[in-house]
Structure 1
Amino acid sequence: MNKSTKIIIPIIIVAIGAISMFVLFSMKEAPAKREVHVKPKIVTTEVVQLTNIETLVSGYGKVKSSQPIDLVSEVNGTLISGDSDFKPGLSFNRGDLLIKIDDRQIKLKINSQKSELMSALAQMLPEIKQEYPDDYTIWEEFFKNIKFDKNLDRLPETNNEKVKLFLSRFKVYQIYFGIKDLEIELEKHYFYALFDGSILRCNKREGSNVRMGNIIGNVVNLEDYEVEVSVSIDDVNWINNEKIITLNNKEFANKWSGKLERIGSAIDSRTQTLTIYISLDDNFKSMIPEGLFVDAEIPGKIIESAYAIPRKAVYNESYVYLIDNGKLEFRKVNIARYENSYAYIDNGLNDGDTVVVELLQGVASGMPAIPSINTRSERSM
């Protein structure tokens, strides 16, 4: 056996073995493929019933008087008590004398000037009676009405130029207007209440000396309370101006009501909010203290033909899952408004749709699902 024959025979043997193995493997039956079954996911759903939804804007604010007033002295003198004590926290009624400044000197000045006026008129009247008898009665009546305990009457008017000369010559005009100026100064000694209110602060007490420009105290108007509430810019557009607003405080059992008075125009750059002003109903003004912090529930505009679902069930700000024919459907909807933990949908849902109201993870459109249907009463709005 030559050398080439020794090489060819092993090669032939290996080739025959390989062919035999291939034939044997091809004759073996392939194993049957196992069918994959996807287990349906049970999800919480609701059956859609479109309704008109009244929105609600929430805010937090503080009760304030719309008329806090500083009592500023315009004269010098010593403080004297009024109709009641001048102390912080005390209430007063319209027309009460809150406090006054010693008025004895100014009254003496006024009466001194009235005496001069009476002397001037006493000298002038005989001449008017003799030369202008038609005007005498008017000026005599004015003279008789001059009293030391009351303000001067209005100075009689005359078109007679010669009577005016008499009045000027005897300095009646000068004395009269000097008295009226002193009467105005006398009024500045008294602080009368222009409204029902309360004393917030007292900078001066009875017996203190005050000078012009000193702030004696601070009072607030209890007839005109309002609540300042900060509201986000987006929420302002949803406020219903015609509806009654409810106010409450956790420390008080009662609730109060009011109405929107006005909306501020300045935006808080830090919080991006606007201030709205709510006036209180008259029945509640005496029941709510100034400075109290309150929660405001402000009725909003109505969204027609809408449905509310939990905010967590909205994906990518505009998609929700539904179940249709036992499978999940990923549908685009329009969110009209987010309010607290809910989203109000006004387009994309129809009556009778089965919408998913829970957060789903690891799912996709087309996957089988079984609805576990909630009723609206099973969740709180």
Structure 2
Amino acid sequence: MKISRSALMKTGAALIILAGGITAMQLLASTKAEAHKREVEAPVRKVETMVPRFSDLSYEVQGSGLIESAGRLQVSSTVSGKVSYSYKGLTSGTYAEKDQLLLKIDSRQAENTLNLARSELIKAVAALVPQFKSSDSGLYEKWNRYLASLDFTSGEIPDLPEAAGSREKLLISNYGIFSAFYNVRNAEIMVEQHSYYAPSEGFVRCEGIPENSFVAAGQPLFTLIDAENLEISVPLTVDELKRIDSSAGPSVTILSARENGSSLYGTVVSRNAELERSSQMIDVLIRFANRELKPDFAPGNYVDVHIEGRVMANTAAIPRHAVLDNSYVYTYEEGKLGREDVIIRAVSDDSVYIENTLPPGTRIVTTILQKPLIGMKLSPVGEEDEAEIAAAVEAGNHEKDS
């Protein structure tokens, strides 16, 4: 049977279309397979790394506590009487320099008693001196000089001359010199008890004592708080206490709890001998000086302290989060993730101190990894990446400005 030319052309066109469709399907299947292969391939993770530097490090123990005055003097009256002088009314917060007269109670009666006692001593010595006039031992000149040194205006009478022999001692006793002398000394003490001076500079805590008011013997007068010499009691665990040598007086940095606060320096002076039962901690006492009377370090402020610890030889400090299960770290090894065991010597809030047991040049991964697999591909963050980040930040700033 003879096939027409048009039928052949139609059949050929159909075959060509069929072949093209088959070829297109094969190409599409191949493309999907390649795409599937690319999706399975794991991406290279960017990580930050560090090479630990081993040296002799001093462990730092951190704690906190409340500042208190190292010198707190509570003063009570030893005599009764009317207040003749009160420094600025002795209101709370009054600042006093050392040796400043703070309070004086009317002492006229006590001064009269003192003058009477001095008069009796002068009278007794004047009666004694002629008894040595015929002596060639120099006793007359000695006691005559002592008599001349006695008067009513001197602040304190001089000590009695030392008796050289038994005859001199007997005469001194018979003329009542000893009793008269100590009566004067007691009267001097009584006069001094009417005046109260600041033994050191500090702040007064008192409800106020106005002049012409009356105070009774035994009445609390005021409390003088030393605002310059301060102390802090800081509780530490037994492990933390082992890290410091409290007998050597380790140095301490005292940090203000306020943002952008300043710092001062002190020393550990002592520690408690017993463990506190409820907290299972031991208090150490830190003392320091606030010479400039900075408000951040006034008594009553809560502060943080960093105590210098013992020196650990051949040790490195690494970020605390870089150590997993307190036993190992992830490492960067020729573009892949590795793992190395570590030995921990001490732990602080931010760092872990490890012994030098790692192979030389080990690079520890400090980036926190999600689902890490040993052998996975890594790429350390380098200078180029940091430059790209900085450029992106700069570009973002320009966009904000525009």
The percentage of aligned residue pairs carrying the same residue is 24
What residue in structure 2 maps to residue 23 of structure 1? Answer: none
- Residues 1:80 and 1:373: Cα distance change in structure 2 (over 3 Å): farther
What residue in structure 2 maps to residue 368 of structure 1? Answer: 375
**Contact 1:45-1:371 within 8 A present in 2 as well:** no
Q: Are residues 1:184 and 2:193 paired?
A: no
Write the distance in 2 (CA, Å) between the matches of 1:333 and 1:186.
74
Write the distance in 1 (CA, Å) between the matches of 2:52 and 2:81.
76
Q: How far did residue 74 of structure 1 move?
A: 2.5
Listed one character per residue, the Cα deviations across residues 67-104 of structure 1 (whole Å, up to 9, x for unaligned) are 21111222333333256542221222222222122211
Listed one character per residue, the Cα deviations across residues 217-250 of structure 1 (whole Å, up to 9, x for unaligned) are 1112345333333333323333476775332324
**Contact 2:251-2:307 within 8 A present in 1 as well:** yes
Q: How far did residue 375 of structure 1 move?
A: 6.5
Write the distance in 2 (CA, Å) between the matches of 1:144 and 1:256.
60
Write the distance in 2 (CA, Å) between the matches of 1:117 and 1:345.
79
1:260 equivalent among 248, 267, 275: 267
Aligned to 2:324, what secondary structure does the other structure show?
A: coil
Write the distance in 2 (CA, Å) between the matches of 1:60 and 1:369.
43
Write the distance in 2 (CA, Å) between the matches of 1:360 and 1:104.
85
Q: How far did residue 47 of structure 1 move?
A: 4.5
Q: TM-score, with normalisation over the residues of structure 2?
A: 0.71
- Residues 1:347 and 1:294: Cα distance change in structure 2 (over 3 Å): same
- Residues 1:128 and 1:305: Cα distance change in structure 2 (over 3 Å): closer
Write the distance in 2 (CA, Å) between the matches of 1:373 and 1:314.
18
Amino acid in the other structure paired with 2:327: S
Amino acid in the other structure paired with 1:159: A
What is the number of residues matched between the two proteins?
343
Aligned to 1:295, what secondary structure does the other structure show?
A: strand
Listed one character per residue, the Cα deviations across residues 182-222 of structure 1 (whole Å, up to 9, x for unaligned) are 21222222222222222133575544433333321111234
Structure 2 stretches lacking a partner, 5+ long: 1-36, 387-402
Amino acid in the other structure paired with 1:369: M
- Residues 1:133 and 1:331: Cα distance change in structure 2 (over 3 Å): closer
Write the distance in 2 (CA, Å) between the matches of 1:157 and 1:326.
95
**Contact 2:49-2:332 within 8 A present in 1 as well:** no
1:277 equivalent among 271, 285, 307: 285
**Contact 1:48-1:307 within 8 A present in 2 as well:** no
Listed one character per residue, the Cα deviations across residues 146-166 of structure 1 (whole Å, up to 9, x for unaligned) are 222322221122234334333
CA RMSD of aligned residues (A): 3.6
Aligned to 1:271, what secondary structure does the other structure show?
A: coil
Q: How far did residue 253 of structure 1 move?
A: 5.0
Write the distance in 2 (CA, Å) between the matches of 1:344 and 1:62.
29
Aligned to 2:224, what secondary structure does the other structure show?
A: strand
Q: Which moved more, 1:355-364 or 1:54-63?
A: 355-364
1:165 equivalent among 163, 170, 174: 170
- Residues 1:362 and 1:77: Cα distance change in structure 2 (over 3 Å): same
What residue in structure 2 maps to residue 106 of structure 1? Answer: 110
Structure 1 stretches lacking a partner, 5+ long: 1-34
Q: TM-score, with normalisation over the residues of structure 1?
A: 0.75
- Residues 1:57 and 1:236: Cα distance change in structure 2 (over 3 Å): same
What residue in structure 2 maps to residue 321 of structure 1? Answer: 330
Amino acid in the other structure paired with 1:167: I
What residue in structure 2 maps to residue 71 of structure 1? Answer: 75
Q: Are residues 1:51 and 2:54 paired?
A: yes
- 1:54-203 correspondence runs (5 A): 54-81=58-85, 85-130=89-134, 134-150=138-154, 151-202=156-207
Write the distance in 2 (CA, Å) between the matches of 1:283 and 1:184.
34
What residue in structure 1 maps to residue 6 of structure 2? Answer: none
**Contact 1:63-1:291 within 8 A present in 2 as well:** yes
Amino acid in the other structure paired with 2:276: D
